[in-house]
Amino acid sequence: MTSPDSPTSVSARSCLAIVLAAGEGTRMKSDRPKVLHEVANRSMVGHVVATVMAVGATEVAVVVGPGRDDVAREARTIMPEAEVFVQRERLGTGHAVLSARAALEKKPDDVIVVYADTPLVSAETLVALRRPLAEGAAVVALGFEARDPTGYGRFIMAGDQILDIREHKDASEAERAITLCNGGLMAIRGDVALDLLDRVGNQNAKGEYYLTDIVAIARLQGHRTAAVTVAEEEVHGVNDRAQLAAAERMMQERLRHAAMAGGATLIAPETVFFSHDTKIGRDVVIEPNVVFGLGVVIEDHAVIHSFSHLEGARIAAGAAVGPFARLRPGAVVGPKAKVGNFVEIKNSQLGAGAKVGHLTYLGDATVGPEVNIGAGTITCNYDGFGKYRTEIGEGAFVGSNSSLVAPVSIGKGAYVGSGSVVTDDVPQDALALGRGRQVIKEQWATAFRQKSLEKKHK
Ligand code: UD1
Ligand code: CA
């Protein structure tokens, strides 16, 4: 048996990846097909297709159940050239693989079979699974030491040779004592794959065509077989919501480790939630309880303070965000800019060194460098029909509690008096005041109190 190692040795061999996604997923109790449920903001089938692409699959065949165009579409968002095959009846994993017969007939050098509901398998593992094929093996199976082997196929070994895989239901008591189990994924040499698969029968406890039977069949045909082992976590399959949550937990652990390995400080990593695509630079600090939605890029030396939620946002080098900030898609925070507490930003760009310290909503705004936005500033960007932009020039100062009624522009270096409702463009270096003038009535309160007391005691 060999262990996974680096993907750098991926061969130049052509590779067909068959992604089994025809499961019904009834235990999810969901209106959505199981493999469209997400882990770290990407569907499980999406993860698997991305992984097989990363190991150099030259062709991807996705096997879906009847009417599952949604699954096919999702796979194609990751790999537009993916071929889709429909498994009309669910007659077992061997039958499912054979649904992609047309792709197998092209006789690629390697075939890898992966499960769309097993999203944690790593690229390194798939490379390790392919390697024995280049060395002449016909079938390579992926095993793991199971904490609880119940339900899994067992590896029947002779030394480091794998002779057969016995499904739990077909296994004897002695075989059930084996803890080295089948993770399900396999690599098959393309020149013999169809021949081996066509020999699989369904004379077994489930009456199904078992993919696993090709190990013994290959040996009968005089071929070599091999086994590769991985940690149980990598072959964690998702059948219900609890297993989905476990997959999420493991994926988050990987993403946190990757962020830290890349030079980011996570003060309480277990409280930070990433998306599969979050990009984090060096010397970034992420405080506890931060959540990243899709499409976030954090450049070097930025700080994300606690309880912030970011999605589709770009944070430039040295910027600071939060605590309690919400950055929505299209938010771009410039170098060394500051976004403080209870600030929401959507589809807006903040120039270098700009400050939006407190209690503000910026939507559809362009904010120049070194602008200061006072507490409670709101861009009024929506009139129930259209969205309008607010432009704020370099070095402008917007006083607290101002409403900027878009479309509107504030010139460079201009001031907006606190509490203004700005409806007209403000020229460069001007002061805009858009509020009621203050009125003072001397001794009004004394008179008011006196009158009120008299009324009460009457
Ligand atoms: C399979 C393996 C078993 C292994 C286990 C690991 C076989 C015969 N058994 O068992 O050795 O320990 O996985 O989890 O392969 N699928 C289809 N069409 C079908 C049947 C299955 O697309 O007709 C898909 C399922 O959606 C799933 C995968 O293939 O993604 C595995 O099928 P499943 O029925 O869960 O196999 P197990 O019985 O768990
Ligand atoms: Ca299963």
As for ligand 1, residues whose beta carbon falls within 6 Å of it are 20, 22-23, 63, 87, 90-93, 95-96, 115-117, 152-153, 165, 167, 181-184, 210-212, 237
Partners of 155 in the beta sheet?
165
Q: Give the ligand at the shortest distance from the Cα of 87.
A: 1
- pLDDT in the model for residue 8: 41
Residue 24 has a pLDDT of 82
Q: Work out which ligand 1 atom sits closest to the CA atom of 182.
A: 12
SS3 content of the chain, % helix, strand, coil (to 5): 25, 30, 45
* Alpha-carbon distance values, 107 to 147, 192, 234, 289, 337 (Å): 37, 8, 28, 50, 56
Contact 287, 269 (CB under 8 A): no
Peptide bond into 33 cis (omega under 30): no
pLDDT of residue 4: 46
- Residue-level pLDDT at 11: 67
Residue 287: both structure tokens together: 């405080």
270: left (phi over 0), alpha (psi -120 to 50) or beta: alpha
Q: What confidence tens digit (pLDDT) does each residue in 407-453 have? A: 999 999 999 999 999 999 999 999 999 999 999 999 999 999 999 99
Query: Chain-wide mean pLDDT for the chain?
Result: 96
Q: To test ligand 1's pocket by mutation, which of 26, 34, 93, 186 has the most ligand atoms within 8 angstroms of CB?
A: 93
What gap in Å lies between CA 395 and CA 393, rounded to an integer?
6
Question: Bridge partners of 61?
Answer: 18, 83
CA distance 216 to 47: 31
Q: How many CB atoms lie within 10 A of CB 201?
A: 10
Closest-CA residue, ligand 1 atom 10, reads 152
Token reading at 249: 């937990």
User: Are 255 and 40 contacting, i.e. CB atoms less than 8 angstroms apart?
Assistant: yes
* Parts of the chain with a pLDDT under 70: 1-11
Q: What is the pLDDT of residues 116-160, one digit of tens each?
A: 999 999 999 999 999 999 999 999 999 999 999 999 999 999 988
Q: Is beta strand 279-280 parallel, antiparallel or unpaired with respect to 180-189? A: unpaired
Residue nearest ligand 1's atom 32 by CA:
93
Interval between CA 3 and ligand 1 midpoint (Å): 23
> Could you tell me the two tokens for 106?
């092209």
- Residue 446: other Cβ atoms inside 10 A: 9
Q: Which atom of ligand 1 is nearest to the CA of 91?
A: 23
